[in-house]
Amino acid sequence: MALINKLFGKTKTLSQLTPQELRKEEILLTKQRDKLFKQIETISTDKQRIFEQGAKQKSPELRKALAQDFELKTQQQLMNARELNLRSKELLTVSRLRMVKENNAKGRALGRLNLTDKDVAKISGWIEDDAVSQDVYQDRLSALLDLGSQSDKDALAGAGLSQGGQELMNIWDELDRGGIKQDDAFAEADRAVRRRNASPADGEQ
C-alpha cells in the first residue's frame, strides 16, 4: 500500500519521522480526499441528469445508450468511493501518528510509537480491506496505538469529528429516515456547528 510503503519503507523508522513530515503527508492526503469527494459529487449529478433524460425519452435506442452511460457512471462512482475510503483511512492514520508524536514531545504520554512489522501489516490490511469501515478502522487503530482512555480520545478529537460534526452526522441520519424536513435539518445543523464553535465570550453575550 502506497502510504505504508511511503511512511514505513524509508530508511527512517516511525519513531524518527517528525511531526512536520507527517503533517506534510496529512495535507497531501486531505487534498486528494477532497478531490475525490468533488468527483463523486459530479458523478452523482451526472447520473441524476442521465436518469431524467431517460425518463423523458421514448426511443428504446436512446434509452439503451443512456442506460449504458448510467452504468458506467455508477462503476466510476463505486471506484471513487473505494478510493475515498482508502484516502480517509490513510488520513486518519497520519493524523493519529502526528498527534501522538506532538503530545509525546510535550511530555504527555499518549499512545505508543514502537510499532512492529506485524503492527504495520495489520494497519496495511485494514486500510486495504473495503469491509473495514472508517469507524471500525478508527477503533482498531486506537487500540493498536494504545489510545483507549477517555483522555486520549479527547486529545485526539481533532483527528476525527468534533462534537458539532458528529451532531451534523446525526442530523443527516435523521433526514434519511424522514424524521426531519430538509429546511429544518439545515437550520438545526447550522445551529449545532455554530454552537460548538462559539467561544465562551460569545455565549455570554
**Reduced to 3 states, what is the DSSP secondary structure of residue 132?**
coil
Q: Domain limits of the chain?
A: 18-159, 161-205
Contact 178, 150 (CB under 8 A): no
Which residues are within 8 A (CB) of 145 and not within 5 positions of it... i.e. 6 or more apart? 96, 97, 100, 111, 112
What DSSP character marks residue 180?
S
Q: Can you give the pLDDT at residue 59? A: 86
3-state secondary structure (DSSP) of residue 146 = coil
Residue with cell string 455565549: 203
pLDDT of residue 199: 42
How much is the pLDDT for 137? 82
The per-residue pLDDT string of the chain (205 residues; one tens digit each, 9 = 90 and over) reads 455 566 555 556 555 678 888 888 889 889 999 999 999 999 999 999 999 988 888 888 888 899 999 999 999 999 999 899 888 888 888 888 887 777 766 655 445 555 666 777 787 788 888 888 777 887 887 777 765 444 444 444 444 555 656 676 778 788 888 888 877 887 777 677 666 555 444 444 4
Taking the C-alpha atoms of residue 125 and residue 165, their distance in angstroms, rounded to an integer, is 28
pTM: predicted TM-score of the whole model, two decimal places: 0.62
- Cβ–Cβ under 8 Å, residues 153 and 142: yes
